[in-house]
Structure 1
Amino acid sequence: MVADAACLQQSQQQIDALQPLLAAQRAAYRASPMPSADQRRAWLKALRQVILDEKQTLAEAVSSDFGNRARSETLLAEIMPSLHGIDYAGKRLGKWMKPSRRRVGLAFQPASARVLYQPLGVVGIIVPWNYPLYLAFGPLIGALAAGNRVMIKMSESTPATSQLVKDLLARIFPDDLVAVVLGEAEVGQAFSRLPFDHLLFTGATRIGKEVMHAAADNLVPVTLELGGKSPAIVSADVPLADAAERIAFGKTLNAGQTCVAPDYVLVPQDRVEGFVAAYRAAVQRFYPRLEGNPDYTAIINERQLSRLRGYIADAEGKGAQLIPLFPADQGRRLAHSLVLNVADEMKLMQEEIFGPLLPVVPYRRLDDALAYVNDRPRPLALYYFGYDKGEQRRVLHETHSGGVCLNDTLLHVAQDDMPFGGIGASGMGHYHGHEGFLTFSKAKGVLIKSRFNAARLIYPPYGTAIQRLIQQLFIR
């Protein structure tokens, strides 16, 4: 009881500090409402240097929080794309900031028009636990490139990483520029209710609805990156070894705890047996053993592990066939498994799996596979494996998803020159690269008139002259 009271008191103190922190950032923004390109590049350069200098320490903190995550996974999936994102933005920042010229109609001449890209002000970022570095640094890069002040709420499920990120960013940024907020779920709820100028949330669809509701009370615009059940479709003629290996990479990275991981795979019914064999071979090539394997990532905590085991028990109780690819679990290292004979009423076919379980759904024709996808909420990612251009075109044109990889998984997220974002149940809005800059900027339309005022011709009192002018200029 004493510990609970202390936790409640600490949470209340963290909540009480939010409004003053927001006020300090607003005041700092008002004092410097349009930072120069050089200033923004300096911010990005400082961020790049601290990430580069502390990459091993960051990877160790993430592994500590997970109970094991391969250092190489963190370097490849979090550190490297963060550094690339900074480099991409820094090189193009001047072009992005330059006002764009727009056309002025003949009836409004003489005048000129342009669009000015102005920082929004203070941006809030809510970070999930599965990629606590990249999903903090990625939005931060876009917000700083656009000239904003930023408050970041780190996940309570990654305490070592969250504290380290807070310490490192405090080393290079004052709190009125970038501030990291720690705390339990109630702190996150209070954070989502703050009147930011924009709020970006990455996480579960259920929580995303709550965040959007909280933001709506202050009319705060939101970007939601929510995930969902991302399908992989295996065509009738793609080499199974190719498809299985690439799907296995996307599903085993971070033990499937990835918002764009393949959630289930649609396989032609006469190729299911071959796919199972090819997939088993690929996974066991990646991970020759489970016990003591430093490359095999653990499930983040006991609560998530219990959830996944619940999915397994529910599916097997309803007739599914589990095919474990390893003899047994090792603590929180859950054995990767395929699941056959799945049905819609099973929990793992209703909820995003977010773990190393891959349901295999047979289909007869491509029409059936596309209908299966389209009958369900729109996913964050869709993967198609097949080299026929006509079938690729059908998949692109006849389905909706946040993004697509043809003949690969996950890698579209790392392309800095493409927007990243969901649609429908998988989210709204985009960021990464130029789209990130635009998301965190106000595209302000500006009309500039000269000393000569031709508009006086349309001022009242109205008479026959204005009627003739309207006839000449507006009516065709």
Structure 2
Amino acid sequence: MNDFFALYAEHDQAALRARLEQMRAGFLSELPVTFEVRRDRIRRAIAMTLKHADALLAASLQDFPGRRAELARLTDLFMPLEAMRHAERKLAAWMKPQKRGAPQPFSLFGARAQVQYQPLGVVGVVAPWNAPLTLLLLPLATILAAGNRAFLRPSDQTPACAAALDAAVREYFAADEVSVALGGLQTSQAFTALPLDHLLFTGSTGVGRAVAASAAENLTPLTLELGGKCPVFVLADADVDEAGRRLALGKLMNGGQGCLCPDTAYVPAALQPSLLAAMDAEVRRQTQGDDLCGLFSAQHYQRLQAIVEEARQAGAQVLTLGTQACDEARLRMAPTVIVDPAPTLRASREELFGPVLVLRSCDALLPAMQALRQGEKPLGLYVFSRSRHAAQQVLDASFSGGATVNDTLMHLSVKDLPFGGVGHSGMGAYGFGIEGFRCFSHARAVYWQGGPFGLLRAMHPPYGTLYRFAIEGTLRRWQRRYADVPPRGSRS
């Protein structure tokens, strides 16, 4: 049986490599990738998503039946289409070379320096189950804008989405332009081992570590979007009612099954009753008419229930928000708050990734910040405060991939902000606007020389008067300027 799986994986790898070679050959034969070609591909991606919207939505709901159709339509269709439209409008500006200052005295004679953004080639994208189409179609906008070919790998846990996307792509794109890799777990493993020109992976930290090791064999450039326990700081001066409403909104987005969903809230003890009351009111408002988002799988449901039960058995206070009870048959878990669980419990150590929030008493902010800085850096961080200065102090004393002040998740919605993690929460950053275009491009340094050959004599032998004036003279001036700087600095 092991020989069978090994043979299957080998054949799978060979087929994927053949597809990749076809895409790379198409890319190389097309250079340079003009504005007209890029715009045409973006427009075809828009037309494809609109024409196949119903089929894509149905597939998303088939793979992830616990979600409302309205949420799937927003995240899997509207958000990618908005990013594609943005790329279409901004493409010409993004493609323009950026000027840089050329060195003197060459600049006086017409020398120029610039950054030209060059396409990478074939960019691979691996999407997670919690955003089965969103995190394939969103980056597709800037991958195509950057002049690349896109090799898309849906999660092996969302086969309906994979099939629907493959049908849509085949209608609108040639096989060497955009392609979808179909198959199970072994396909995913083989895909990340391909010698791609860039690989964007979104998923868990554990799997991300394996992906990085696999990509290292080919020195494949990586962007890893992972996760972590995104913290929330509600400061003493915060509008507690507003903070509670917005925290509940972020916690319940997609049933809490998102890498940026808040995980642990640090709140002064005196504010906790008001915050919980505001969260409870928002949960009740959101879940009117059976609107609670279900979990993706029975395994995920059982994992979260085990985390909550462990905390309860250990003596932590466990609170349920809203009126809807847990329903295992429908994979619906009541929004739950675990108050001050012990550091050794799973609720304190694991990313929750569901409608469960850890609430920690935090009357002294400094110790909490110091403890967090010793741990793994999260993907997102949130601060609630009426004071811009106080919020900035939290940002200055912390690490995270991104942050939002007086709300949650919202920095992801700004197209021209970078989106990425740091350390265990990710590697590199892309985005759904210009930052994505730059991530999927090579920033190529280009220098156009100007001036007579004699200007180079200061840097090349035989070294004479010009060298002594330009190099040795400049070094002496710098020595005089910095002579009074103390060796170890001073702290006052």
TM-score (norm 2): 0.89
For 2:168 and 2:205, the matched residues in 1 are separated by 30
On the 8 A contact 1:261/1:410 being kept in 2, the answer is: yes
Q: Structure 2 vs 1, CA of residues 372 and 271 (structure 1 numbering), >3 Å: closer, same or farther?
A: farther
For 1:169 and 1:50, the matched residues in 2 are separated by 7
1:435 matched to 2:435? The reply is yes
Tell me which moved more, 53-62 or 66-75.
Answer: 53-62
Residue 422 of structure 1 deviates from its aligned partner by 1.0
- Tell me what 1:202 maps to: 202
- Tell me what 1:387 maps to: 386
Listed as ranges, the matches of 1:232-381 within 5 Å are 232-288=232-288, 293=290, 295-325=291-321, 326-331=324-329, 332-381=331-380
- Tell me what 1:212 maps to: 212
For 1:277 and 1:404, the matched residues in 2 are separated by 25
For 1:365 and 1:341, the matched residues in 2 are separated by 15
* Aligned with 1:50 (options 41, 48, 51): 48
On the 8 A contact 2:118/2:443 being kept in 1, the answer is: yes
Q: Structure 2 vs 1, CA of residues 454 and 123 (structure 1 numbering), >3 Å: closer, same or farther?
A: farther
On the 8 A contact 1:228/1:425 being kept in 2, the answer is: yes
Q: Structure 2 vs 1, CA of residues 13 and 324 (structure 1 numbering), >3 Å: closer, same or farther?
A: farther
Q: Structure 2 vs 1, CA of residues 88 and 10 (structure 1 numbering), >3 Å: closer, same or farther?
A: same
For 2:395 and 2:318, the matched residues in 1 are separated by 32
On the 8 A contact 1:132/1:154 being kept in 2, the answer is: yes
Tell me which moved more, 407-416 or 320-329.
Answer: 320-329
Q: What SS class does the counterpart of residue 17 from structure 1 fall into?
A: helix
Residue 15 of structure 1 deviates from its aligned partner by 2.7
For 1:96 and 1:473, the matched residues in 2 are separated by 42
Paired residue type of 1:168: A
On the 8 A contact 1:155/1:182 being kept in 2, the answer is: no
On the 8 A contact 1:201/1:208 being kept in 2, the answer is: yes
Q: What SS class does the counterpart of residue 114 from structure 1 fall into?
A: strand
Q: Structure 2 vs 1, CA of residues 316 and 115 (structure 1 numbering), >3 Å: closer, same or farther?
A: same
For 1:463 and 1:103, the matched residues in 2 are separated by 26
* Aligned with 1:21 (options 19, 22, 28): 19
- Tell me what 2:186 maps to: 186
Q: What SS class does the counterpart of residue 254 from structure 2 fall into?
A: helix
1:464 matched to 2:464? The reply is yes
- Tell me what 2:488 maps to: none
On the 8 A contact 1:33/1:119 being kept in 2, the answer is: no
For 2:79 and 2:395, the matched residues in 1 are separated by 26
Residue 455 of structure 1 deviates from its aligned partner by 5.4
Q: What SS class does the counterpart of residue 419 from structure 2 fall into?
A: coil
On the 8 A contact 1:151/1:181 being kept in 2, the answer is: yes
Residue 354 of structure 1 deviates from its aligned partner by 0.7
- Tell me what 1:175 maps to: 175
Deviations 1:418-442 (A, max 9, x none): 1111112111211121111111111
TM-score (norm 1): 0.92
On the 8 A contact 1:231/1:373 being kept in 2, the answer is: no
Q: Which runs of 5+ in 1 are unaligned?
A: none
For 1:363 and 1:235, the matched residues in 2 are separated by 9
Residue 474 of structure 1 deviates from its aligned partner by 5.2
For 2:32 and 2:112, the matched residues in 1 are separated by 22
On the 8 A contact 2:193/2:215 being kept in 1, the answer is: yes
Size of the alignment, in residue pairs?
470
For 2:457 and 2:240, the matched residues in 1 are separated by 72
Q: What SS class does the counterpart of residue 360 from structure 1 fall into?
A: strand
For 2:305 and 2:9, the matched residues in 1 are separated by 31
For 1:136 and 1:459, the matched residues in 2 are separated by 50
On the 8 A contact 2:379/2:426 being kept in 1, the answer is: yes
For 2:225 and 2:418, the matched residues in 1 are separated by 12
Residue 469 of structure 1 deviates from its aligned partner by 5.8
- Tell me what 2:445 maps to: 445
Q: Which runs of 5+ in 2 are unaligned?
A: 478-492
For 1:365 and 1:77, the matched residues in 2 are separated by 38
Percent sequence identity over matched residues?
35
Deviations 1:271-296 (A, max 9, x none): 2233222222211221136xxx2x32
For 1:6 and 1:212, the matched residues in 2 are separated by 26
For 2:219 and 2:208, the matched residues in 1 are separated by 16
